[in-house]
């Protein structure tokens, strides 16, 4: 028999795709040719036939199972996660072919079949051989916790072969925030999420939770030593935000924000914080004044910090005396009202961590500093001593307004023994005193709200736990917290009780002959810029602030923020309408100034509420640059007082009159205001405290 030497085999318009890309032969190997006994001739004949055929063009029965990228195989899983294993099957020629792959889970030690189930049709899979590697997806379901946290084996077999392949896997307990569903046999969302109003979805594949829109939601480990999973609402200044972060992940090391579209990851807690709703500092870090961040502090600097506070108090009192920056002039009333309103809303969002706002951080800090200083807060981080906690910070923060008041009292007492000091300070000491108390109003009000504020932490397996709002490590009503509440109540009560009695009932106390000489200087220092029959407007400002602060606290604890905001907005607009109609100030310029500030605040509230539902970044930036309008007006007011106190106001107004005809309108108004602040009867009164000296 002669062999044909030029035989070639080609496949035209082939559509076979099940096994290989062309043809499947059941007798491709160990072939014999009749009449040919020479093995080399058979071999040459074989390769001449298949010389133009690639390994993928023809295949036979499967002989080998191969794991692709076995070194990258992740072997730790949770019930409900997908085990993804890339495999292929080869025939004896190394060609990809088809077969049925069966997977059986067994224990590693006893090789006993485990009570694991795979999702539908996953136990047996047809490997078609079309692709270089076929991905096998196995979703493990089980309620047998005895197989957790120990090595197990997945055995892989193909039909017609006595060989098996295996991979080791570890099935772990459900991670933090998940629990094992005894019906489905998979890890599902913890039941504690039912205590919050937001809808949380869990992804066991990523071991993560969907991040709700609420910027205050905290999810994490409640105790660093004993563990425990919990959910709560934290201070917005404690938790990081970011527009692209849409996932939350929790592990033993803490809580993290993730992005489903990028690899970016940041801690949920801002400023080196940790613990329940980020209320503590990480080890070796301390709470600081002027910021919600925790800093690496040292105790050797506390004398310097004390000196800074002492000098700051003296400087503030000096400026108030020197430039007549008091409520008596009426120029500061509107700007202080804005700052006190912004302190409870806008400042908290400016203090809110914004990872999107890195480029604009300088403008944010400057805007925040402006609002903070007008509320007698620091506005920038300053260490006091190593290891300071939120409890000590809350207590020590009360000292600054007390210190300012003591400075004024000391000057009043000094005036009784020094005629020189008395002649310089007798006209303005009471005016400065009531201005200091007024500036301290929101600081003290916020102190009493904060110290009595509570938060609910829902712990898995333990239920509800009530802690102090500023620190999840402090149990509400504990010994140290009780002492803080008592001390704060005494300090705030001693200062604000006479203040409210004066602004609410001062008009009636003046009718009492025994009290008139003592009440009148304080009363006139506050109500001097108001018309006689419009004295109550100052009280309405403070009552609105009182309503605002307590309503904001109530709304935050009950989840009624939307309804409370609507009510407050309606009340504010009614207040604004009657202010515009009433024109309560004696001076037209003051009426226009305060009305413009109230209208601007109304605009900021409206736009801010709209942006709130759009982007945290743009909310922070809008509040930041809105503050610069008020900062500009504040600078003009300070300039006016500097010119007034130095006697340069008339000269400056004449110069402006020559430059711009617009001053023809405002010049008489400013002159009238200047006259009223220098020629009226109330600045000339000697205070009753000094009357006998």
pLDDT tens digits along 38-77: 666 666 666 666 666 665 666 777 778 888 876 666 678 8
Residue 538 confidence (pLDDT) above 90: yes
Q: What is the mean pLDDT of residues 328-343?
A: 91
In this prediction, residue 207 carries a pLDDT of 86
Q: How confident is the model at residue 34 (pLDDT cuts 50, 70, 90)?
A: low
Residue 654 confidence (pLDDT) above 70: no
Cα 577 to chain centroid, rounded: 35
SS3 256: strand
Contact status, residue 258 vs residue 201, Cβ threshold 8 Å = no
In this prediction, residue 314 carries a pLDDT of 92
Q: How many Cα atoms occupy the beta-carbon half-sphere of 14 within 13 Å?
A: 17
- String of DSSP letters for 485-551: HHHHHHHHHHHHHHHHHHHHHHHHHTT-HHHHHHHHHHHHHHHTTB-GGGTHHHHHHHHHHHHHHHH
User: Phi then psi for 689, rounded to 5 degrees?
Assistant: -65, -20
Residue 592 confidence (pLDDT) above 90: yes
In this prediction, residue 596 carries a pLDDT of 93
Residue 550 confidence (pLDDT) above 90: no
pTM of the model: 0.76
Length of the chain equals: 693
Residue 669 confidence (pLDDT) above 70: no
In this prediction, residue 21 carries a pLDDT of 54
What one-character DSSP code corresponds to residue 372?
H
User: Distance between CA 256 and CA 268 in Å, rounded?
Assistant: 5
Q: What is the mean pLDDT of residues 264-290?
A: 88
In the numeric block, the tokens 């405290």 are attached to 689
Q: What is the mean pLDDT of residues 112-138?
A: 81
Contact status, residue 314 vs residue 407, Cβ threshold 8 Å = yes
Q: How far apart are the first and last CA of the chain?
A: 144
User: Distance between CA 444 and CA 545 in Å, rounded?
Assistant: 12
In this prediction, residue 681 carries a pLDDT of 40
User: Phi then psi for 187, rounded to 5 degrees?
Assistant: -80, 130
Pairing relationship of beta strands 58-59 and 23-24 according to DSSP bridges: parallel
Contact status, residue 49 vs residue 7, Cβ threshold 8 Å = yes
Report CA-CA distances (Å) from 595 to 340, 435, 581, 598.
Answer: 16, 21, 10, 5
In this prediction, residue 399 carries a pLDDT of 92
Residue 686 confidence (pLDDT) above 70: no
Q: What is the mean pLDDT of residues 329-344?
A: 91
Residue 472 confidence (pLDDT) above 60: yes
In this prediction, residue 120 carries a pLDDT of 78
In this prediction, residue 168 carries a pLDDT of 87
In this prediction, residue 595 carries a pLDDT of 93
Pairing relationship of beta strands 23-24 and 273-274 according to DSSP bridges: unpaired
In this prediction, residue 333 carries a pLDDT of 93
Give the number of other Cβ atoms within 10 Å of residue 319's Cβ.
15
In this prediction, residue 428 carries a pLDDT of 81
């Amino acid at each position: 028999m002669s062999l044909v030497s030029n035989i070639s085999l080609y496949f035209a318009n082939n559509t076979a795709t099940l096994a290989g890309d062309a043809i499947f032969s059941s007798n491709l190997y160990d072939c014999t040719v009749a009449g040919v006994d020479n093995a080399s001739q058979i071999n040459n004949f074989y390769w001449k036939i298949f010389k133009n055929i690639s390994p993928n063009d023809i295949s036979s029965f499967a002989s080998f199972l191969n794991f692709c990228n076995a070194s990258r195989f992740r072997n730790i899983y949770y019930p409900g996660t997908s085990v993804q294993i890339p495999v292929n099957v080869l025939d004896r020629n190394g060609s990809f072919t088809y077969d049925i792959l069966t997977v059986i889970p067994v224990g590693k030690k006893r090789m006993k079949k485990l009570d694991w189930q795979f999702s539908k049709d996953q136990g047996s899979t047809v490997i078609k051989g079309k692709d270089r590697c076929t991905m096998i997806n196995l979703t493990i379901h089980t309620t047998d916790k005895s197989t957790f946290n120990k090595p197990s084996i997945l055995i892989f077999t193909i039909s017609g072969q006595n060989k098996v392949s295996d991979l080791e896997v570890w099935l772990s307990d459900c991670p933090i925030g998940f629990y094992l569903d005894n019906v489905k046999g998979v890890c599902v969302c913890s039941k504690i999420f039912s205590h919050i109003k937001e809808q949380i979805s869990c992804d066991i594949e990523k071991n993560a939770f969907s991040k709700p829109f609420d910027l205050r939601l905290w999810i994490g480990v409640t105790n660093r030593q004993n563990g425990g999973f919990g959910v709560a609402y934290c201070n917005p200044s404690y938790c990081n935000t970011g527009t692209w972060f849409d996932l939350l992940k929790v592990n033993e090391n803490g809580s993290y924000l993730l992005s489903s579209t990028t690899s970016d990851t940041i801690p949920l807690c801002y400023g080196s914080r940790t613990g329940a709703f980020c209320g503590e500092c990480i080890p070796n870090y301390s709470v600081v004044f002027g910021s919600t961040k925790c800093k690496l502090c040292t105790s050797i600097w506390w004398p310097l910090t004390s000196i800074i506070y002492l000098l700051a108090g003296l400087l503030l009192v000096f400026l108030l005396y020197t430039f007549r920056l008091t409520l008596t002039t009426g120029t500061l009333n509107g700007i202080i009202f804005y700052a006190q309103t912004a302190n409870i809303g806008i400042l908290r969002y400016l203090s809110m961590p914004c990872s999107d706002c890195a480029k604009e951080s300088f403008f944010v800090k400057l805007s925040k500093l402006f609002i903070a200083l007008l509320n007698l807060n620091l506005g920038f981080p300053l260490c006091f001593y190593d290891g300071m906690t939120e409890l000590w910070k809350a207590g020590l923060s009360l000292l600054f307004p007390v210190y300012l008041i003591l400075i004024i009292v000391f000057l009043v007492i000094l005036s009784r023994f020094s005629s020189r000091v008395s002649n310089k300070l007798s006209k303005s000491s009471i005016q400065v005193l009531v201005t200091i108390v007024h500036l301290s109003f929101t600081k003290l009000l916020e102190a009493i709200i904060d110290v009595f504020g509570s938060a609910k932490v829902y712990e898995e397996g333990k239920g509800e736990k009530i802690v102090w709002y500023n620190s999840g490590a402090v149990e509400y009503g504990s010994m140290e917290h009780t002492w803080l509440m008592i001390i704060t109540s005494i300090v705030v009560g001693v200062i604000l009780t006479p203040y409210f009695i004066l602004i609410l009932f001062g008009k009636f106390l003046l009718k009492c002959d025994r009290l008139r000489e003592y009440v009148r200087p304080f009363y006139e220092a506050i109500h001097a810029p108001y018309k006689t029959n419009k004295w109550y407007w100052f009280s309405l400002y403070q009552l609105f602030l009182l309503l605002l602060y307590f309503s904001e606290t109530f709304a935050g604890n009950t989840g009624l923020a939307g309804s409370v905001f609507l009510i407050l907005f309606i009340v504010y607009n009614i207040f604004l309408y009657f202010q515009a109609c009433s024109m309560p100030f004696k001076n037209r310029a003051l009426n226009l100034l305060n009305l413009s500030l109230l209208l601007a605040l109304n605009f900021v509230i409206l736009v801010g509420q709209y942006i709130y539902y759009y982007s945290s970044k743009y909310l922070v930036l809008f509040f930041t640059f809105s503050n610069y309008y008020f900062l500009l007006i504040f600078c003009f007011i300070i300039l006016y007082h500097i010119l007034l106190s130095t006697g340069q106001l008339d000269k400056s107004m004449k110069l402006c009159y020559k430059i711009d005809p617009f001053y023809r309108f405002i010049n008489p108004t400013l002159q009238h205001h200047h006259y009223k602040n220098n020629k009226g009867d109330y600045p000339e009164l000697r205070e009753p405290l000094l009357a006998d000296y």
